[in-house]
Amino acid sequence: MEIKTKEIAYGIVANLIDENKEKLMYYAHILAKANARARLTGSDDPIEIFDVHVMDCAMALPLLPGNAWVVDVGTGGGLPGIVWAICRNDLSVVLLDSIRKKCELLSDMIQHLGLKNVQVCCGRVEEFALSNFERYDVAAARGVSHLGILLEYFSPLVKKGGRCLAFKGPRAFEELREFYGREGKLGWSGLEVWKYDLDERELFIFTWQKSRDAEMKLPRRVGIPEKRPWWR
């Protein structure tokens, strides 16, 4: 398996960060405070949240189409969805998480930030997909599940012609090796891997295009994607 990586357009990212830095930093402070009530991300230091988490999420901004409907699966503290909504007011973003306490905190954060292009939905992705079938231009996740399982979660959410994005570290190539070349079963094609460096780490964004209908009935019942991976 030989995958050529592409480089993120850092100039576009830097411009969007500079234009929205005050609001992004305010978000980092709000998220740091919210961590005292529910563990939304790994740090309660707003500077670290900005430098590590916010900057990481911003790397995908050049990959998002204009005026897109986006769903952030397993959003936790709103990463990447809130970062994208702040930097790109042309996007309509849904933050999806299964933990009600997190959803309540996210709603509070959105209100404090004055974001009009974001909504919070609480529930399991398999159930959410039943009522939002092929509704979105983009589905994304950061720090959530195995790459192959994410592709199953994303497939029923994304309309044909849309795309998915998964933030991953180097170990994701081991995950990819398990199903590489068979993702068409879920309707995906056109894999692209985008590489960038952040905080002395080499990181990646994996993207696919939704080119056709899945060959299997999706979504499956809650918990089944993890128990019975589609490629095994």
pLDDT tens digits, one per residue of 12-62: 999 999 999 999 999 999 999 988 777 777 778 999 999 999 999 999 999
Q: Are 140 and 71 in contact (CB under 8 A)?
A: yes
> DSSP 3-state assignment of 230?
coil
Question: What pLDDT score does 222 carry?
Answer: 97
CATH, range 5-227: 3.40.50.150
Rounded to the nearest angstrom, the gap between the alpha carbon of residue 53 and the centroid of all alpha carbons in its chain is 12
* Cβ burial, residue 200 (10 Å; 0-12/13-18/19+): exposed
**pTM score of the predicted model:** 0.96
Element spanning 210, H or E = strand 201-210
* One-character DSSP codes across 46-58: HHHIIIIIIHHHH
- The tokens 């930097």 sit on which residue? 87
**pLDDT tens per residue across span 86-123:** 999 999 999 999 999 999 999 999 999 999 999 999 99
Is the pLDDT score of 200 beyond 90?
A: no
Residue 115's pLDDT is what? Answer: 98
- Cα distances from 178 to residues 123, 130, 149, 168, in angstroms, run 28, 27, 11, 15
Strand partners, 139: 71, 164
The values of phi and psi at residue 18, to 5°, are -60, -40
Q: What value does the mean pLDDT of the chain take?
A: 96
Domain segments of the chain: what residues?
5-227
pLDDT at residue number 29: 96
Helices (H), 35-165: 46-48, 55-58, 81-87, 100-113, 125-131, 147-154
Q: Is pLDDT at 150 greater than 80 in this prediction? A: yes
* pLDDT for 38: 74
Backbone φ and ψ of 36, nearest 5°: -70, -20
Region of poorest pLDDT, from 1-10, 88-97, 156-165, 168-177: 1-10
Measured over the CA atoms of residue 56, residue 58, residue 61 and residue 64, the dihedral's sign is positive
**pLDDT tens, residue by residue, 60-92:** 999 999 999 999 999 999 999 999 999 999 999
Report helix, strand or coil for 103.
helix
For residues 198 and 55, is the Cβ–Cβ distance under 8 A?
Answer: yes
Whether 231 shows a pLDDT value over 90: the answer reads yes
115, 208 Cβ separation under 8 angstroms: no
Confidence tier at 139 by pLDDT (50, 70, 90): very high
Asked whether the CA dihedral 208, 169, 10, 43 is positive or negative, the reply is positive
Q: Are 199 and 51 in contact (CB under 8 A)?
A: yes
